[in-house]
Amino acid sequence: MKVKQGLRKLFLVILVVFLISGCSTNKDVSTKENDKAKQSKDGGTLVIARLSDAENLDHHFMSTINAASVTHRKIYEGLVGRDKNSDIQPLLATEWNQLDDTTWEFKLRDDVTFHDGTAFNAEAVKATFDRLLDPTVASPRAVVFKMVKEVKVVDDYTVQFLLTEPFSPLLSILASHEGGIINPKTIVKYGKNIIQEPNGTGPFVFESWTPGQEITFNKNEKYWGDKAKVDKVVFKVVPEETTRISMLETGEAHIAEPLSVTMKSTVEASKASKVYRSEGYGTEYVGFNVQKAPFNDVRVRKAIAHAVEMDAIIDGVFNNIGKKANTLLGSKVFGYHDGLKAYEYNLNEAKRLLTEAGYPNGFKTSLITMDSKERINLAEVLQSQLKGIGIKVNIQVLEYGTFVEQANAGNSEMFIISWRNATGDADYNQYNLFHTNSQGGAGNTFFYSNEEVDRLIEAARSEKDNQTRLNLYAKAQELEMADSPYIPVRVIENMAAISKDIEGFAISPSGYLEINDISIK
């Protein structure tokens, strides 16, 4: 009897263990299958909801990172590029050498074709830069390569850049969107006109553009490098931020950008999306058109700088997202002057300067800004603060494209704008924003000119020694602060709302959207 009971107990133990093991095995299999189903996979359509459209799709005519971010490293590629650590790496060029102070030689890849099958070679590189530098084309971006005298074809896969003078930051500019290589057949087709159908060597192929609505790219199945993981990308223009965020919630979009400070907490509380943040090279600032009265008087500009309580703005408008700026160079940019002092909040000094300039009771002026919540909030705070010194500010909120056109044309008195340094080198900021030759669409929307600043910027361009370059840029920034064509606000922090169903998204310090490695769950 005891034997039978013992056998019965043993049988029950074995049965329970078997059942547990069986259930555990099924559970593990089920979990693995579910995890596998949730894993990112290749294919699908990536939808990006954006505040504003690109002003054009031609790298030789683009004036904003907003536009360049659509095509850079997606449609067009340069001879070199930056990796995730922002270091210069080979791209369409396999290697390069500086043969002397004014001669740079690049060896090119021999396995690359443009999207229509046209071979990429030295002639294509030459055709691209010949067009960019052709004065009859009148590219606003030609100024960044003004030191290039000639691009010389050595053989099918070797080119030389012959410069008029030494230019240390050459690689950094070649890595930016201005260095993108264009299909020579496209150049022949469009010539001096803005290219409507971009054709490059990148991992995506242009399909269509409906201005004001959307831009569509397809995966380049014949791409020479690592192919994109998604089949299609659609950039949708969605001006209203709440709509962009709701598109993430409903699955209509995977990325909504930019993300404002005011909507950050909403996204953080979402089950479907999350906040992406990274520090950028660029800065946000208030600018003056120094050729228009009363801003042609430096005392007026300094008075306004003293009347702005920037700590309150960083806290109240930006919720301390993006640190307070002391120059127009982000702290990660080569050439940043960490010892530079911005003007302190001092109403008495502001009033003294205004009185000295002949405006004891203030004056009326206008301030233009683009249609984003943060910029509008900043404009309203400035309007309130400047009342303290008798300045009455009329705020004009413009659609982004119109805002850019007005600022570039000099149809402004005060404006709120940002400059997203595309290269990580001070030259891109200093030459474009402050050199006399860059007035207007090239970036100098202050219409500022100072001969000594021009000289310092030019000297830094040709200087090989990094410490000497840093010293030159420091002196230039000190002079610019003394002339006060701008009031620095904050170092830009890139923010976007992204779906929890995507992996591999980033925004480079320059502000370019990085989507080539994105996969969708």
Q: Give pLDDT, residue 303.
A: 98
Interatomic CA distance for residues 286 and 293, integer angstroms: 17
Segment 378-405 shows an average pLDDT of 96
The angle subtended at Cα 71 by Cα 67 and Cα 76, nearest 5°, is 135
Does residue 17 form part of some domain? Answer: no
pLDDT at residue number 22: 40
Q: How confident is the model over 168-185, as a mean pLDDT?
A: 96
In a domain, 295, yes or no: yes
Residues 166 and 299 in one domain: no
Q: pTM of the entire structure?
A: 0.78
Of all residues in the chain, what percent carry a pLDDT higher than 90? 84
Look at the chain and report how many structural domains it folds into. Answer: 2
Same domain, 174 and 296: no
pLDDT recorded at residue 383: 98
**Sign of the Cα pseudo-torsion (308, 311, 317, 322, in order):** positive
- What's the pLDDT at 253? 98
The pair phi, psi for residue 94, each rounded to 5°, is -90, -25
- pLDDT mean over 38-49: 82
The confidence score (pLDDT) of residue 515 equals 97
Q: What is the mean pLDDT of residues 197-209?
A: 98
B/e letters for 393-423, b = 16+ CB within 10 Å, e = fewer, are: bebbebebbebbebbbeeebbbbbbbbbbbb
The first and second tokens of residue 374, run together, are 């943060």
Do 184 and 317 share a domain, yes or no?
no
- Over residues 140-168, the mean pLDDT reads 95
Query: Per residue in 311-367, pLDDT tens?
Result: 999 999 999 999 999 999 999 899 999 999 999 999 999 999 999 999 999 999 999
Q: What is the structure's pLDDT at 19?
A: 34
Last residue of a domain, which of 125, 155, 190?
190
Q: What burial letters (b/e) apply to 27-61, b meaning 16+ CB within 10 Å?
A: eeeeeeeeeeeeeeeeebebbbbbbbbbbbbbbbb
Q: Are residues 313 and 443 in the same domain?
A: yes
408 shares a domain with 307: yes
Residue 204 lies in a domain: no
**Cα 50 to Cα 64: distance, rounded to the nearest angstrom:** 14
- Asked whether residue 20 carries a pLDDT value surpassing 90, the answer given is no
Same domain, 151 and 285: no
Do 160 and 296 fall within a single domain? no
Look at residue 40 in the predicted model and tell me its pLDDT. 53
Same domain for 288 and 426: yes
Q: How high does pLDDT run on average in the chain?
A: 91
Q: Is residue 65 part of a domain?
A: no
Q: Is pLDDT at 431 greater than 60 in this prediction?
A: yes
d(C-alpha 438, C-alpha 378), whole Å: 27
Residue 56, token pair as written in the block: 């054009």
In the prediction, which pLDDT does 420 show?
Answer: 83
CA-nearest of 97, 74, 496, 8 to 280 is: 496
Where does a domain end: 166, 190, 214?
Answer: 190
The answer to the question of residue 342 being in a domain is yes
Q: Residue 177 pLDDT more than 60?
A: yes
Residue 48 in any domain: the answer is no
Containing domain of residue 309, as a range? 280-492
* Lowest-confidence segment of 189-193, 272-276, 421-425, 467-471 by average pLDDT: 421-425
Are 44 and 230 in contact by the 8 Å Cβ rule? The answer is yes
Say yes or no: 330 and 470 in one domain: yes
Q: Quick check: is 320 in a domain?
A: yes
CATH number for the domain including 141? 3.90.76.10
Residues 302 and 174 occupy one common structural domain: no
The confidence score (pLDDT) of residue 262 equals: 87
Pick from 167, 190, 213: which residue ends a domain? 190
Query: What pLDDT score does 39 carry?
Result: 55
Does the residue 200 lie in any domain?
no
Instruction: Indicate if 172 and 285 belong to the same structural domain.
Output: no
CATH of the domain at 470: 3.10.105.10
| Structure confidence by residue, pLDDT tens digits, 87-115 | 899 999 999 999 999 999 999 999 999 99
Looking at the structure, do residues 338 and 459 belong to the same domain, yes or no? yes
Minimum mean pLDDT among 8-22, 27-41, 371-385: which range?
8-22
Amino acid identity, position 106: F
Q: Give the integer Cα–Cα distance in Å for 67 and 395.
A: 25
